[in-house]
Amino acid sequence: MELGRRNAPIRRRSRLLPADGVLGPHRVARARRLLPIYALLLPGLLLYGVWAAYPLISSFILSFTDWNLVKPTSFVGLDNYTRALGDPLFWRSLSSTLGYTAVTVAGQLILGLGAALLLNQRIPGRSVLRLIYYLPVITSWVIVSLVFLYLYNGQAGALNWLLNDVLGIIDKDIAWLAEPSTALWAIAILGIWKGIGWTMVVFLAGLQSVPDDLYEAASMDGAGTWARFRYITMPFLRSTSTFLLVVLTIGGFNAFISIFVMSSAATGTIGGPLNSTDVALTYMWKQAFTEIDLGYGAALSFLLAGAILAVSVIEFRMIRRQEAT
Amino acid sequence: MTALGRRGRPGRWLAFAIAIGFALVMLAPFALMVSTAFKEHAYVLEIPPRLIPESPTLDNFVQAITTNDFGRYFLNSVFVATISTILSVTLASMLAFVFARYEFPGRRLLFAALLFTIMVPGLVLLIPQFVLARNLGLLNSLWGLIVVYSVLNMGLNTFLMRGFFAGMPKDIFDAAQVDGAGPFRLFWSVALPLAKPGLATVTIFSFLAAWDEFTWAIVTIADRELYTLPVAIRLFQRANGTEWGLVFAASLIALAPVLVLFVALQRHIVSGAFQGATKG
């Protein structure tokens, strides 16, 4: 036993590194150089391959089947995809996703940049303020969803109290999450509030690359606040903004937990009221796990991934064109 | 002199006032959560909402810990988040180091494949991961959570860490190589110690992601005693409806460790954590 175990590595090694006579000294040196490199990659790629790459491929294959755990699975070609393209509820969920993404990305970019510009100055209590802005980022989606569920309460919520009793903007209490016209936007406000801090931190890192003396020189030449921002800060933030735009867009398309938790608690159905908060992922979730239409759910998820990829490419292109002009 | 603050005091004080106002808006939901956690049940939906409870009580916290097993869920979350963070950060750093500093066959393809999963929604993988976990006996098990959470951020972590390793001066690696150090030694004793800000960043992101993960946990965990905090808190709210004091007391217990971790590591995160990403 002992002997066998000690021999094993030697045998394996000799297979990977053939004797000089077989492949020549050059190949041996190359293998010897590459072996530790692949050894460093192996554990990560193995875990990744089993739990991400393999599920991805198998999900892709399943999207061409009628897999539903009940009857035996058979290939249905492109049926799931053509069905999705003719499914009005899918299109509706996709357009809700786009609306949610547009609003949350714009909100996070504008307010995150504003917060970064404020904190990039020598104002008192900077680190405390930074922590406060960042607090929603480190709080879990489940918790913030419950907090906003509480704030949005239709009868005695703090938001109704503020808007109705204090400010008088509305004249009767609104059930924010049970009203089809407001529910998705109420959830989008949570999305913005939660993401401002992260956007700010990335912008702050980007602002470090702006040399201070440029501002000083510009001020000497009489440039005002806006001119300094427009002609010095903005160009330096271009790659940061691109990165943020793409990452935040992907985040918007992935909105799920807040909608799942809030819509089911406020209306009893995921995506309610009246499908008004159904985004791509909640719709996919219901097809896969409520209807147990797993093949269809998989097809929906790849259509969504395609949409994310397309939007990311468009965003990159737009920014590059802007740079060229 | 910076972009906003015009020379001198008035501008800076205006910026300070705006920053404070904004902070109050950001804090308001937390303030209400904290105060509600200390309120008796009868007062949780009072109008006008009172920031300082009239008769503050610790009952909610006591009840959450003693009668609802939140101690158990807390330990589950600590176990899962810690192990998966160690795995994810270690493996992603190894990948990132090799991608940043070595040329080898398959490099571009492997890196592109890693990045592709950042684009793909996690739910795409959910169904096949579920089947895989069932076949491997990892359903309803904390280890089933750990393997998936380790992979969750692998793409992003590798991307961020690669930026750090790529930005390191070539000379230090050359010097160590002359001394006969191979890739393992270079990685462990040269590259890693220099990458501490990057490590702090990916550590806290991975820990947060694992600590907060909800979807995979509700799909795979069936036994009560294996719940993690997000699952427990959500089901707790479902079961108790308007017992907001209890719900928020449990939420605060769940929030405490990540707050501590963040305060401890925040210096590194802000000091250029994203330079690797934005320089790409």
Of A219-228, B73-82, B121-130, B167-176, which has the strongest mean pLDDT? B73-82
What are the beta bridge partners of residue A65? Answer: A75
Best of A143, A232, A237 to substitute, by most chain B Cβ atoms within 10 angstroms, is A143
CATH class of this structure's domain A79-324: mainly alpha
Q: Are A15 and A23 in contact (CB under 8 A)?
A: no
- Region B84-109 average pLDDT: 93
Q: Are A147 and A189 in contact (CB under 8 A)?
A: no
The C-alpha atoms of residue A2 and residue B269 are separated, in whole angstroms, by: 49
Radius of gyration of chain B from Cα atoms? 23
pLDDT in tens, A74-117: 899 899 999 999 999 999 999 999 999 999 999 999 999 999 99
pLDDT in tens, B144-194: 999 999 998 888 889 889 988 988 888 888 888 888 888 888 999 889 998
Between these two residues, A24 and A139, which has the higher pLDDT value? A139
Question: What's the N-to-C CA distance of chain B in angstroms?
Answer: 28
Tally the residues of chain A.
325
A151 and B32: CB-CB below 8 Å? yes
A44 and B254: CB-CB below 8 Å? no
B127 and A294: CB-CB below 8 Å? yes
pLDDT at position B251 over 90 = yes
Tell me the pLDDT band of A18, cut-offs 50, 70 and 90: very low
Contacts of B95 (CB under 8 A, 6+ apart): A40, A41, A44, A45, B114, B154, B158, B161
Q: Are B187 and B176 in contact (CB under 8 A)?
A: no
E strand intervals along B217-262: none
Q: Are B227 and B273 in contact (CB under 8 A)?
A: no
**CA nearest to B130, candidates A54, A306, A43, A84:** A54
B6 and A129: CB-CB below 8 Å? no
Q: Are A232 and A215 in contact (CB under 8 A)?
A: yes
What are the beta bridge partners of residue B255? Answer: none
Tell me the pLDDT band of B274, cut-offs 50, 70 and 90: low
Tell me the pLDDT band of B279, cut-offs 50, 70 and 90: very low
The reported pLDDT for the residue numbered A221 is 83
Candidates B4, B129, B280; nearest CB to A51: B129
Q: Which two tokens stand for residue A127?
A: 């680190």
> How far B62 CA lies from chain A's nearest CA (Å)?
19
Q: Are A259 and A277 in contact (CB under 8 A)?
A: yes
Computed from CA positions of residues B191, B192, B194, B199, in that sequence, does the dihedral angle turn out positive or negative? positive
> How far A48 CA lies from chain B's nearest CA (Å)?
6
Residues B112-132 as b/e (b if ≥16 CB within 10 A, e otherwise) read ebbeebbbbbbbbbbbbbbbb
Computed over every residue of chain B, the mean pLDDT equals 85
Which parts of A17-87 fold into alpha helices (H)? Answer: 20-23, 25-48, 54-62, 79-85
B3 and A204: CB-CB below 8 Å? no
The C-alpha atoms of residue B189 and residue B181 are separated, in whole angstroms, by: 10
% of chain B at pLDDT higher than 90: 38
Minimum Cα–Cα distance from A232: chain B residue: B3
Residue A75 has φ and ψ, to the nearest 5°, of -70, 135
pLDDT at position B196 over 90 = no
A41 and B98: CB-CB below 8 Å? yes
- Region A268-281 average pLDDT: 91
B121 and A254: CB-CB below 8 Å? yes
Residues 100-159 of B with CB under 8 A from A: 102, 104-105, 110, 113-114, 117-129, 131-132, 147-148, 150-151, 154, 158
pLDDT at position A281 over 60 = yes
Q: Could you count the other beta carbons within 10 Å of the beta carbon of residue B218?
A: 19
Q: Which two tokens stand for residue B157?
A: 């972590």
The reported pLDDT for the residue numbered A28 is 83
Candidates A121, A197, A219; nearest CB to B15: A121
Write the single-letter amino acid at B212: D
CATH topology of domain B63-279: MetI-like fold (1.10.3720)
Q: Where are the domains of chain B?
A: 9-57, 63-279
Q: Are B32 and B185 in contact (CB under 8 A)?
A: no
> How far A128 CA lies from chain B's nearest CA (Å)?
10
pLDDT at position A180 over 90 = yes
Residue A172 has φ and ψ, to the nearest 5°, of -140, 155
Contacts of A238 (CB under 8 A, 6+ apart): A319, A323
B5 and A243: CB-CB below 8 Å? no
Residue B141 has φ and ψ, to the nearest 5°, of -145, 145
Candidates B237, B277, B279; nearest CB to A146: B237
Cα A113 to chain centroid distance, Å, stands at 19
- Region A202-223 average pLDDT: 83
The C-alpha atoms of residue A50 and residue B230 are separated, in whole angstroms, by: 26
Q: Which two tokens stand for residue B248?
A: 């928020």
> How far B23 CA lies from chain A's nearest CA (Å)?
6
pLDDT at position B6 over 50 = no
Of A232-246, B48-62, B132-146, which has the strongest mean pLDDT? B132-146
Does B51 lie at the interface with A, CB-CB under 8 angstroms?
Answer: no
The C-alpha atoms of residue B205 and residue B67 are separated, in whole angstroms, by: 32
The C-alpha atoms of residue A153 and residue B185 are separated, in whole angstroms, by: 58
pLDDT in tens, A23-69: 567 788 888 888 888 999 999 999 999 999 999 898 899 899 988 87
pLDDT at position A20 over 60 = no
The reported pLDDT for the residue numbered B248 is 92
The reported pLDDT for the residue numbered B30 is 94
> How far B204 CA lies from chain A's nearest CA (Å)?
9
The reported pLDDT for the residue numbered A132 is 93
- Region B232-243 average pLDDT: 83
Q: Are B16 and A241 in contact (CB under 8 A)?
A: no
pLDDT in tens, A287-315: 988 888 889 999 998 899 888 889 888 88
Residues of chain A neighbouring B182 (CB-CB closer than 8 A): 36
Q: Are A253 and A280 in contact (CB under 8 A)?
A: yes
CB burial of residue A25 (10 Å; 0-12, 13-18, 19+): exposed
Angle between helix A54-62 and A294-324 (nearest 10) = 110
